[in-house]
Structure formats: structure tokens, C-alpha cells
Amino acid sequence: MYLWFKAIHIIALIAWFAGIFYIWRLFVYHTEATSEEVKSTLAVMERKLYFIIMRPAMYVTLFFGFGMLYLQWNAFASTTWMWLKIFLVILVIGQHHMANFYRKKLLEGVVYRSRRFRILNEVPTLLMIIIVILVVLKPF
């Protein structure tokens, strides 16, 4: 059963991160758009991405991730890499919710520079790289 949990966790994780990567790029386009029609279209895309892909993928990722922790708690509880991974996942969840915050602000017409979203687009990449290295190498 553990391997099924792992497979589903990885599939959901890929969908979740795809959404996280894409939503920040949509925000860049949103802030650079000059046409209200384009901004409206992007707002629809952002809403659908967040609620139809990102949110369900996050829930599935977390459910099966916690399921794996539960099934193998004795093996994971004393490993430093797992606790660091959990901390980094909390940061990813924060980025996820931050995306929704900015999505709502853009809907309200708040103006941001696209540079902000370009920078925020790099954060999940760094988190993903570190998490994958921790999970594969289990350095400590």
C-alpha cells in the first residue's frame, strides 16, 4: 500500500507544482496586459487553475504524503531530512496561499510590477529542487 500512496503522492505533486509554476507566470502576463479584455481572460484562467487544478492537487499531495508518514512513521520520525522536507512543504503551502492572495488583489484592480511575480515564480523551483534532493539523497 505504501508504494501506491507514493505513486499517487508524486502524481498529485507534479500537478500541484505545475499549477504553482504556471500561476505566477499568469500573474506576470496579467500585470503586463494593457487590455481589460486580456486581464479578464487571465483572471478566469487564474481562477480555474487555482480552484480546479492547484487546490485539489495540493489536498491529494498532502493526504497521501501524510499517509506515507503514518505508514512509515518509525522510519521517518528520527530523520532530519524528513523534518526539513516537512518545513519546506509548509513553505510551498504558503506560496500556494500567497498565489490566491495575489489572485484576489489582481481581481480588485491592485497594480503590481511584473518583477514581483517573476521573482515569486522562482521560489517554488528552488523549494522543489531542495525537496527532491532531500528525498532522493536523504543526506541526514
Taken in order 96, 47, 35, 102, the sign of the CA dihedral is negative
Answer whether 12's CB lies under 8 Å from 53's CB. no
* Interval 68-111: pLDDT, tens: 999 999 999 999 999 999 999 999 999 999 999 999 999 999 99
Average pLDDT over residues 42-67: 98
The reply to whether the predicted model has a pTM over 0.75 is: yes
The label of the residue with cell 509554476 reads 21
pLDDT at 11: 98
**pLDDT above 70 coverage of the chain, percent:** 100
Give the pLDDT of residue 16. 98
